[in-house]
Structure 1
Amino acid sequence: MKYLILKHYRGNPAPYGDAAPMDQWSPEEVDAHIGFMDDFAKRLEGTGEWVDGQALSPEGTFVRYDGPGRPPVTDGPFAETKDLIAGWMVVDVDSYDRALELAGELSAAPGRGGEPLYEWLEVRPFLDNPTTIDE
């Protein structure tokens, strides 16, 4: 079953840990963090559990349908926000417990000073088939 693991960037980390925001890390700390993520992905490629993943830029745009014509567009999300999606991974694993195990490992990615971040990650299953109700 496929699961989406969402990595959130929290500009204000409390109450999600006491790690400094990434813009306060040294280049070496950022490189160590990215290296951890790359190694994690390569390991899962070897087990056949890796599907895809990508880091996301903090710049973005909100768009919605508002009738015929050009849809309204607004700025955002903004890097100053307390929480924005920093990246995602898709894994294909045998169980929900395995998805949680992997997210737990990923949560220990190094941060400032090389210390584990202990960050909260969002784990969501892909919707397979809509639930049917038998009456």
Structure 2
Amino acid sequence: MAKYLLLKHYRGAPAAVNDVPMEQWTPEEVSAHVRYMREFAARLEATGEFVDGQALAPEGTFVRYDGEGRPPVTDGPFAETKDLIAGWMVIDVDSYERAVELAGELSAAPGAGGKPIHEWLELRPFYAAPPTITE
């Protein structure tokens, strides 16, 4: 088994997928989307392929070490950016091909009008072994 991170990206228009911003979806469309995501995760949980997942709020903060002892903090990322990470899911599957299959299925979650949103998913494998630390 190999673990993969699926990063859910919304690209293009601000916080939009399939050319319709999520804030313009009807409550029923939002509910259908959330239900699809939950059912997808539940199905993978039943097969032992689901590890964890979470949606992310559009607002955030950037932090980095500044060498002065107090890290600077700036606003961002913003929902208006060209590429926003909207959430993530960790899966544990038998092959890369299975990971691609599941990513494609997740990309088809329903959006406005019940149509698949075709969102971008970044598929990233976990290291098979932790990096070696030498002193």
Taking the aligned partners of 1:28 and 1:11, their CA distance within structure 2 comes to 24
CA contact (8 A) 1:5 1:89 kept: yes
Task: Provide the residue aligned with 1:8 in structure 2.
Answer: 9
Letter in 2 for 1:7: K
Per-residue displacement from partner, 1:41-76 (whole Å, max 9, x unpaired)?
000000000000000001100000111321011000
What SS does structure 2 have at the residue aligned with 1:98? Answer: helix
Cα offset for 1:17?
6.8
Aligned Cα root-mean-square deviation (Å): 2.0
What SS does structure 2 have at the residue aligned with 1:106? Answer: helix
CA contact (8 A) 2:7 2:87 kept: yes
Measured at CA, do residues 71 and 131 of structure 1 come closer, stay the same or move farther in structure 2, by a change above 3 Å? closer
What SS does structure 1 have at the residue aligned with 2:80? Answer: coil
Cα offset for 1:18?
3.6
Cα offset for 1:11?
5.5
Cα offset for 1:131?
8.3
Taking the aligned partners of 1:17 and 1:86, their CA distance within structure 2 comes to 11
Flag structure 2 segments of 5+ consecutive residues without an equivalent. Answer: none
Superposition pairs of residues 1-135 of structure 1, within 5 angstroms: 1-10=2-11, 12=13, 18-129=18-129
Q: Which structure: greater strand fraction?
A: 2
Letter in 1 for 2:9: H
Measured at CA, do residues 62 and 5 of structure 1 come closer, stay the same or move farther in structure 2, by a change above 3 Å? same
Same amino acid, percent of matched pairs: 75
TM-score, with normalisation over the residues of structure 2? 0.89
Measured at CA, do residues 105 and 20 of structure 1 come closer, stay the same or move farther in structure 2, by a change above 3 Å? same
CA contact (8 A) 2:61 2:73 kept: yes
TM-score, with normalisation over the residues of structure 1? 0.89
